[in-house]
Amino acid sequence: MSRIGKKLITLPEKTELTISDSSVSVKGPLGELSRELHPVLEVKVEGNIVTVVPRKLTLESRALWGTYASHITNMVAGVNKPFEKKLILEGIGYKSEVKGNKIVFALGFSHPVEVEIPKTLKVTAEKNFITVSGSNKEEVGQFSAKIRALKKPEPYKGKGMRYEDEVVKRKQGKKSV
């Protein structure tokens, strides 16, 4: 039995969840999100309470039960309050700025690095603080990871791009005799 799957999902005001064929869509103040639903699961809506139930208890349905319950919880949360990830760019000469629908980085390479911003996300860059926000938790996390992968933090001086709450373990470096 899934502990997360058994939890009830409450819909806040101004949020509605609709189920059609094999997809679930959540509509709220910040937009609409939809996701395909696996055929071994069933979503039930009673008033403002949503439950995810497996049609038949099998190994596969038990594995997917909590996963889809979490997806629906994240969709409900995302259409009411956007998810956001903050990144910090550390290092001399490292810069970031948003130009139209692209974010441009100067990361110590011989050329500027340009990354296309997805239409569903909002990205701001102030000095060396980059904020990625949007209603889809997966897209926010994936785009943040894509940006971070351009210049990961190195362990000696801590230069590179890291998440705001990430701790970079520092190494000592060379010792002189």
What are 118-145's pLDDT values in tens digits? 999 999 999 899 999 999 999 999 999 9
Cα–Cα distance, 37 to 18 (Å, whole number): 12
Give the per-residue pLDDT at 176. Answer: 76
Residue 51 in domain: yes
What pLDDT score was predicted for residue 173?
84
Query: CATH number of the domain that 47 lies in?
Result: 3.90.930.12
Q: Which domain holds residue 34?
A: 3-78
Q: Do 152 and 92 reside in the same domain of the chain?
A: yes
Instruction: Give CA–CA dist 145/160, Å, rounded.
Output: 13
Domain stop point among 38, 53, 78: 78
Q: Give the integer Cα–Cα distance in Å for 19 and 39.
A: 13
User: How far apart, in whole angstroms, are the C-alpha atoms of residue 84 and residue 138?
Assistant: 11
Q: What is the pLDDT of residue 35?
A: 94
Q: Are residues 31 and 91 in the same domain?
A: no
Q: How far is the CA of 159 from the CAs of 9, 45, 70, 156, in angstroms?
A: 42, 49, 35, 8
Q: Are 102 and 130 contained in the same domain?
A: yes
The total of structural domains in the chain comes to 2
Q: What is the CA radius of gyration of the chain?
A: 21
Residue 174 lies in a domain: no
Same domain, 7 and 74: yes
- Bridge partners for 164 per DSSP: none
Please tell me the distance from the alpha carbon of residue 23 to that of residue 101, in angstroms, as a whole number. 30
> Is a pLDDT exceeding 80 seen at residue 1?
no
